[in-house]
């Protein structure tokens, strides 16, 4: 098994990927563009960690991958959220909201 230390970015990236796939199954390039657009490029996420996250999530059973045909008729690997992934997304979302609220409370208390 290949493991990397969990850090904030990786955790964040996992949530973003899961959230993106929640709308519909898509290939890696689409996930990348979608996150890029929705964050207005603020997070400047590179594609390498994104792909690592996709495969890591597949190994964890949160996403499933399947070869399909892209909009320009090329073979592409499509990712979709599994039931376990949906549950994970819900849990991570809750955790993120609590985290964000706590940070805001500190920032706004001045």
Interface residues toward another protein, by CB under 8 A: 1-2, 27-29, 32, 46-49, 51-52, 55-56, 58-59, 64-67, 70, 72, 74-77, 80
Contacts of 64 (CB under 8 A, 6+ apart): 58, 79, 80, 82
Least distance CB 86 / another protein (angstroms): 13
Residue with Cβ nearer another protein (24 or 66): 66
> In 24-82, where does DSSP find H-type helix?
28-38, 47-59
Q: Rank residues 54 and 89 by Cβ distance to another protein and give the closer one.
A: 54
């Amino acid at each position: 098994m290949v493991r990397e230390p969990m850090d904030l970015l990786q955790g964040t990236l996992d949530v973003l990927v899961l959230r993106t796939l929640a709308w519909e199954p898509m290939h890696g390039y689409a996930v990348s563009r979608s996150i890029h657009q929705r964050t207005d490029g603020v997070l400047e996420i590179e594609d390498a960690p994104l792909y690592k996250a996709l495969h890591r999530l597949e190994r964890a059973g949160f996403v499933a991958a399947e070869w399909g045909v892209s909009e320009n008729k090329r073979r592409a690997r499509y990712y979709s959220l599994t039931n376990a992934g949906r549950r994970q997304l819900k849990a991570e979302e809750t955790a993120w909201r609590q985290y964000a609220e706590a940070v805001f409370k500190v920032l706004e208390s001045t």
